[in-house]
Amino acid sequence: MSLLASLLAHGTSPALTWYDADGRLELSGKVLANHVAKVANYLSDEVGLEPGAPVLLDLPLHWKTLTWALGALVAGGRIHDAGETGADVVVTNRPEAHAGASAAEVIALNLDSFAFAWDGDLPQGVADGSADVMGQPDSLVLAEDTDNVERARGTLVIAEPSLLFRPTVAEATRALLAACAGGASLVVVGEGDPERIAAAQRARIL
């Protein structure tokens, strides 16, 4: 089953729950599939992402980071390691560090969970990932690159509700892919109030 089909099979049940200093945000399978499809459509149609093209996520761990990681994989992109050079697309919350520095397409992403656009002015040539993605179709326009998604997941399958405590973006991405493949929900605890994080870890809120 494809990634998007697996997410849609969750329906209104939670697929991803995110904890940080601002609290808790739950994304159902249907909502997460919607976000992933919009990102994939944007990267394919607006950015012109080619199969196998490297995508650098210069972003901290966040639920939005994970939707962009999954969307890039669905669109056929290869998630770039931070130490690599030559990314075709850079998605970042610090666009001033990348504007004009290379030939890469630079996309700014506001990591406020409820933001629909970048807050303030953007450097010339930098796209607003939050605003531009909003206008994309809710369903995938092109075929999902299932082989690319499977390569990113590897053989890992998570079939039980699971909690990740401060993982790396790469770890959280692979775990989310594995949870989708296994029909399970995933809780990711990011940076935030230590007491809140400790309570979530002790309670294993799944």
Per DSSP (E only), the strands in 21-64 are 23-28, 54-58
Q: How far apart are CA 176 and CA 33, in angstroms?
A: 12
pLDDT at residue 22, rounded to an integer: 81
Tens of pLDDT, residues 107-162: 999 999 999 999 999 999 999 999 999 999 999 999 999 999 999 999 999 999 99
pLDDT band at 82 (very low <50, low <70, confident <90, very high): confident
pLDDT at residue 206, rounded to an integer: 41
- The residues, ordered by sequence, that sit 6+ positions from 161 with a Cβ below 8 Å of its Cβ are 184, 185, 186, 187, 206
pTM of the model: 0.93
